Homo-oligomer: A and B are copies of this chain.
Amino acid sequence: MTAEEILQYLEERNYKELKEKLESMHPVDIAQILEEVTEKQVALVFRLLAKEEAAETFSYMNNDMRENLIGALTDSELEEVIEEMYLDDTVDVLEELPANVVDRILMVTDEETRIQINTLLNYPEDSAGSIMNIDYIGFQKDMTVAEGILKIRQVGLNRETIYTCYVTEKRKLIGVVDIKELLTTSENSTMEEIMDTNILYANTHDDKEDVARRINKYGLVAMPIVDNEMCMVGIVTVDDAMLVMQDEATEDISMMAAVTPSEESYFSTSVFQHAKSRSLWLLLLMLSATVTGIILGHYEEAMAVMPELVTFIPMLMGTGGNCGSQSSAVIIRGLAVGEIEFPDILKVVFKEIRIAVVVGIVLSVVNGLRIIIMYQDPMLALALGITMISIVCMAKLIGCTLPLIAKKIGVDPAIMAGPLITTILDTCTILVYFRVVTMIYHL
């Protein structure tokens, strides 16, 4: 269904048919379509949704829509929505709303939930705790499979996932039981007998990106989260892990292009916000580039004697920047997916230098041929060849080491990407270039 069709139904006041249509839609899609109708219409459509769908649709809305909708709902309607939502989604919503709206939501929730919400809100922003869900199925080790299945029957509907269940002893996590295990073994076995004790788990304070990466690496549907005493406190599910990984890649790509990352989508970010997140880096890079300009100014005389020297600057600076960007991008991504780590630095440098030599020779030969054809000047081809190989080696070296060093000192490696590397390399390129030509031509 499209936004136009919804508008059509609303205009015709054909709520019955609209309701039926909505029932066959996924909440993600409903939330997306509602972005295109007015605030009043959002509330109208929202009230047509079944309780569960309404709560899920709410959790998929963007921040502005949520805030407007909350303003339009009565306290009891709001209470119903919050009651139906999974706790981790509620916490996500609360984290992004202004204080007065948060207060109103907390007012309509019961005390137990409020305490749980506050606990979750207290976990650091990027921690596993901040994205975990506390609704999971827990078993005691002496429960039988039949008792376990019975428990799922009783409480399963209120749990986000029943695919994996967790066995605890005095709240401590001691084993994991997959629902497959539960359904394919004898009903009289105890949890202790069938549980897997090689548990892959994470701590509430672990970085959420690490948790997502491990869920991906081991192909899990959920990872149990424990506190410092190994007590089970929640789970992070694979759907949340996927979102974390996607956001991480988006963040890296932004930073690698010198854009301060933002959590909002492109269209919901204002022009000034966009301008701000781009200007900071641009200003810094612009001022650094003036250094290159000043150095270039020192070689005015050389350029006066050989005016063609200036025509090679764009090519040399471009090639240096591109070579550096290539190496840094490859290393940044390798670090992000866990393929490369800091201790590999020597291996990486050795590899990059060898790559640089090969690449440098290829580029120098092609460029040398062009120079000889266009200028009939082998000396110039030699000078540019030496410059080119030196620049490529320098570019690859700087491009591969800076991200590794950043990682080591706890800075996001994605900063050390194209734009910054290029700006650094521009200076180096000019220095090397004029050093080589002044030497060869005795300028």
A residues with a Cβ closer than 8 A to B are: 24-26, 28, 149, 152-153, 156-157, 162-163, 179-180, 183-184, 198, 200, 215-221, 238-239, 241-243, 245-246, 249-250, 252-254, 256-259, 265-267, 271-272, 274-275, 278-279, 281-283, 285-287, 289-290, 292-294, 296-297, 300, 303-304, 307-308, 310-315, 317-319, 321-323, 325-326, 328-334, 337, 339-340, 344, 347-348, 351, 354-355, 358-359, 362-363, 366-367, 370, 417-419, 422-423, 426, 430
The contact of A319 among B24, B221, B286, B303, by CB within 8 Å, is: B286
Bound form: Cα–Cα A286–B25 in Å: 51
Report Cα–Cα, A359/B293, bound state, in Å: 22
Which of B221, B242, B290, B304 contacts A315 (CB under 8 A)?
A: B290
* Residue ID in chain B nearest A399 by CB atoms: B257
Q: Contact: B418 with A325, CB < 8 Å?
A: yes
CA distance A219 to B163 in the complex (A): 14
> In the complex, what residue of chain B is closest to A157 when comparing beta carbons?
B184
Say whether A252 contacts B253, CB under 8 Å. yes
19 interchain pairs, CB-CB under 8 A: A28-B217, A28-B218, A156-B184, A238-B239, A245-B249, A253-B332, A254-B329, A254-B333, A266-B351, A271-B354, A278-B323, A278-B359, A279-B363, A285-B319, A287-B366, A297-B308, A297-B311, A314-B317, A418-B419
The answer, among B282, B303, B315, B328, for a CB contact under 8 Å with A359, is B282
A330 with B246, Cβ < 8 A, contacts A28-B217, A238-B238, A300-B307 known: no
Q: How far apart sit A289 and B363, CA to CA, in the bound complex (Å)?
A: 13
Min Cβ gap A356→B in Å is 8
In the complex the two chains form, is B153's CB within 8 Å of A329's CB?
Answer: no
* Least distance between A425 CB and chain B CB atoms (Å): 11
Decide: B265 and A238 in contact? CB cutoff 8 A.
no
- A-B contacts besides A314-B317, A314-B426, A325-B418, 12 pairs, CB < 8 Å: A26-B198, A153-B184, A162-B183, A163-B163, A216-B239, A257-B325, A267-B344, A282-B359, A286-B367, A289-B314, A310-B310, A318-B422
